[in-house]
Amino acid sequence: MKNSEFLKLSALDLVEGYKKGDFTVSDVIETALEYIEVNERNLNALITPLYEEARSRSWMLDAALARGEELGSLFGVPVVVKDNITVDGVRTTCGSRMLENWISPYSAHVVECLERAGAVIIGKANMDEFAMGSSTEFSAFGPALNPWDLSRVPGGSSGGSAASVAAGYAPIALGSDTGGSIRQPAAFCGVYGLKPTYGLVSRFGLIAFASSLDQIGPFARSLKDVAAILQVISEPDARDATCTRKERPNYAEFLNVTSLEGFKVGYLAGYESLEIDDEIKRAISQTIEICKESGAEIVEVDLPISTRYGLPCYYTIAPAEASSNLARFDGVQYGFSVAADDLKELYLKSRGSGFGPEVKRRILIGTFVLGSSRYDAYYLQAQKVRQLIIREFNAAFSKADVLITPATPTLPFKRGEKLTDPVKAYMADLFTIPVNLAGLPALSMRASMSQSGLPVGVQLIGKKFGEGDILKAASVIEQVVGPAATALGGDRK
Which residues participate in catalysis according to the annotation? 82, 157, 181
CA distances from 265 to 43, 304, 461, 488 (A): 37, 18, 10, 34
- Containing 402, the helix (H) or strand (E) segment is strand 402-406
* 99 DSSP 8-state letter: G
Which amino acid, residue 46? L
* 91 DSSP 8-state letter: B
Contact 193, 444 (CB under 8 A): yes
Which amino acid, residue 10? S
Euclidean distance between CA atoms 100 and 139, whole angstroms: 11
Specify the pairing of strand 297-301 against strand 120-125: unpaired
The 10 Å Cβ neighbour count of residue 300 is 13
Euclidean distance between CA atoms 77 and 221, whole angstroms: 13
Specify the pairing of strand 172-176 against strand 78-82: parallel
Euclidean distance between CA atoms 382 and 297, whole angstroms: 35
Euclidean distance between CA atoms 167 and 153, whole angstroms: 14
Euclidean distance between CA atoms 466 and 116, whole angstroms: 26
Euclidean distance between CA atoms 219 and 193, whole angstroms: 5
The 10 Å Cβ neighbour count of residue 128 is 31
Q: Among candidates 93, 217, 223, which has minimal Cα distance to 162?
A: 217
Euclidean distance between CA atoms 362 and 405, whole angstroms: 27
Q: Among candidates 206, 212, 434, which has minimal Cα distance to 317?
A: 212
